[in-house]
Structure 1
Amino acid sequence: MLTTHEISTNSFIHPPAGIDAVRIYEFKGDERISLIPEGRVEVMFQLQGDFLHSLDAGDNWEERPFSFIGGMHSSSYEVHLRKGSGLCLGITLRPACAHKVIGDRLNDFQNAIIDIVDVFGIVGKELNEKVMEQRDIQSQVTIIRSFLANRYAGNQHMERSGFLEKAISGLNDHSVASVADSVGLSNSQFRRCFREKVGLSPKRYAQIRRVNQAIKLMTQMAFSSLTDITYQLAYYDQSHFVREFRSVTGKSPKELRKSLQ
């Protein structure tokens, strides 16, 4: 069983630029947990427990390092706590800002988890040591938040995030071609730039965000039928909605809705 608690960034005295959310993940039991991509890069620390990770429906499992960068996933993936209970601390980064914390070419992180030491080197190792020295979650969050904020501040020489913010917002309601045109790039230039700085193709990113909107509506029971969701979120028809939903989550809307009850 997985329980997620979110710490509001509004509670910080100085809300950090680039950070979208801070989450505590509590695992109990040895069941396999299927996770749905949200269109976010996440910095993860495994504070307790021994975890395995599978990107291909559980056919191949690999051990997860103590801390890692979880790149954007294009479809659902699985996590398995070997035994007992587990506790993870995750900090998700805003899509338009993640490259200023992690670095360019976020497409290299797609569908991957990469050890923080491999990404940040010796300073990543020092970060791990500082986090492990702390005995409470709030102190650990403060240390990690400070590290990420310094990384973000140190990369302000990179292009302003306004371009990406505009592009990401535009994908909610417009085609990739029209968004590319609105930011003054050709289709190919826009797709390449978006993949490198966000971590997914613009089309797949938009699909994942729309499916997450559908899941939110399902969770809140803010719909009368699947047809209602289909038209609220501007899918062509219900078969299009179901097909796209399954490609992201690995389940049909009805199957996922049942699992949420």
Structure 2
Amino acid sequence: MESQIKEYMPCESLRPFVELFWEGSFNINATGSMSMQMIPNGCLELIIHLNDLHCDLENNKTWSQTPDYLILGLITQPCEVRFKNCVSVFAIRFKPEGIYNIFGVPSSLLMESYEDMSMVLGHGFLDFSKRLKEKIGVDSMIRHTENYLLKNLLDKKIDLNYVNLAAELIRNTKGVRIKDLSSQLYISQRQLEREFKEKLGISPKHYLRIVRINEVLRLLNEDHMIDLTSVAYQCGYFDQAHFIKDFKKITGQKPTIFMMDKEQFISNPGLAHYVD
């Protein structure tokens, strides 16, 4: 196995904003350079490198080594990642609407790109990150991270508006129609689409497509014997051609080809919002 990822739930108070925490190691054997495709998961990833070995990413058509503290914005298509050595990280996966509530950073500013988070947030974040690297064990890292994020929440005015509610409904109800979503929130579809795009950088329909395909991937990861037709139906697809089209747009491959070559992809679709 060339990569390993473990996911952890956040505390109850952070769940409206944070999808999960995860730790990962990539190119574990380090026998040579390795390239993987990162699948869009509908979230933003704050990735903290735990040593001096980093991956390479393309930004604005230029390949470069990623910074120590990387914030990867919401992506809508597969993103190539290159590993020259064994890379170990600890990461916070933010819901796209949630990162604004904690840091005041709209996810729309980070669409399809990445930034050095220390340049975005400054000294307080750098101090948190350096102390994080001194912690022994992932439980200690998570407690330290939760304390830092909760302190930021206390310093901010929390605004759980209809964009937050719409995004959460999309995640929890994969078969929802956008026009039904706007009626549930008592706003016009046009208003919802405008505000969603302005704050998240993506339309509700496009976001729903990413969420659905990630639910497909999660179910396939849990049960390797389940068939694709059943999974597609469970995730709100009633037309197989539509499902295959969406799957290829998000992963870059048809479902059958993807399943045969899963080791080439970074696909960690999450914990299904803590539903047993």
Report the TM range for the smaller structure's normalisation: 0.7 to 0.9
Matches within 5 A, 1:93-108: 93-108=94-109
Assess if the C-alpha contact under 8 Å between 1:131 and 1:144 holds in 2. yes
2:257 corresponds to: 255
1:42 aligns with 2:41: no
The one-letter amino acid paired with 1:160 is L
Report the Cα distance in structure 2 between the residues aligned to 1:250 and 1:142, rounded to whole angstroms.
37
Matches within 5 A, 1:99-138: 99-134=100-135, 136-138=137-139
The count of aligned residue pairs is 254
TM-score by length of 1: 0.84
Deviations 1:206-245 (A, max 9, x none): 0011001111222233765333333333324222111100
Assess if the C-alpha contact under 8 Å between 1:4 and 1:23 holds in 2. yes
1:26 corresponds to: 25
1:76 corresponds to: 78
2:165 corresponds to: 165
Report the Cα distance in structure 2 between the residues aligned to 1:225 and 1:132, rounded to whole angstroms.
42
Deviations 1:171-216 (A, max 9, x none): 6232222212322323332123223444432111100110011112
The one-letter amino acid paired with 2:20 is A
The one-letter amino acid paired with 2:24 is Y
Relative contact order higher in (CA < 8 Å, ≥ 6 apart): 2
Is there any run of 5+ residues in structure 2 with no aligned partner, and where?
264-276
- TM-aligned CA deviation for residue 96 of structure 1: 4.5
Say which SS state the counterpart of residue 241 (structure 1) adopts. Answer: helix
- TM-aligned CA deviation for residue 257 of structure 1: 1.0
The one-letter amino acid paired with 2:34 is E
Distance verdict in 2 for CA 1:25–1:225, change over 3 Å: same
- TM-aligned CA deviation for residue 162 of structure 1: 6.6
- TM-aligned CA deviation for residue 93 of structure 1: 2.2
Report the Cα distance in structure 2 between the residues aligned to 1:5 and 1:88, rounded to whole angstroms.
11
Is there any run of 5+ residues in structure 1 with no aligned partner, and where?
none
Report the RMSD for the aligned CA atoms in angstroms: 2.7
Report the Cα distance in structure 2 between the residues aligned to 1:16 and 1:238, rounded to whole angstroms.
37
Report the Cα distance in structure 2 between the residues aligned to 1:224 and 1:2, rounded to whole angstroms.
24
The 10-residue stretch of structure 1 (121-130 or 107-116) with the greater mean CA deviation from structure 2 = 121-130
Report the Cα distance in structure 1 between the residues aligned to 2:245 and 2:152, rounded to whole angstroms.
39
Report the Cα distance in structure 2 between the residues aligned to 1:219 and 1:250, rounded to whole angstroms.
18
Say which SS state the counterpart of residue 61 (structure 1) adopts. Answer: strand
2:269 corresponds to: none
Assess if the C-alpha contact under 8 Å between 2:43 and 2:96 holds in 1. yes
Report the Cα distance in structure 2 between the residues aligned to 1:55 and 1:177, rounded to whole angstroms.
35
Assess if the C-alpha contact under 8 Å between 2:47 and 2:92 holds in 1. yes
- TM-aligned CA deviation for residue 64 of structure 1: 0.9
- TM-aligned CA deviation for residue 43 of structure 1: 1.7
Report the Cα distance in structure 2 between the residues aligned to 1:195 and 1:209, rounded to whole angstroms.
16
- TM-aligned CA deviation for residue 26 of structure 1: 0.7
Deviations 1:13-64 (A, max 9, x none): x7644332111111123211211111112221011222101379xx742321
Assess if the C-alpha contact under 8 Å between 1:55 and 1:76 holds in 2. no
The one-letter amino acid paired with 1:20 is E
1:52 aligns with 2:56: yes
Say which SS state the counterpart of residue 220 (structure 2) adopts. Answer: helix
The one-letter amino acid paired with 1:169 is L
Say which SS state the counterpart of residue 73 (structure 1) adopts. Answer: coil
The 10-residue stretch of structure 1 (62-71 or 223-232) with the greater mean CA deviation from structure 2 = 223-232
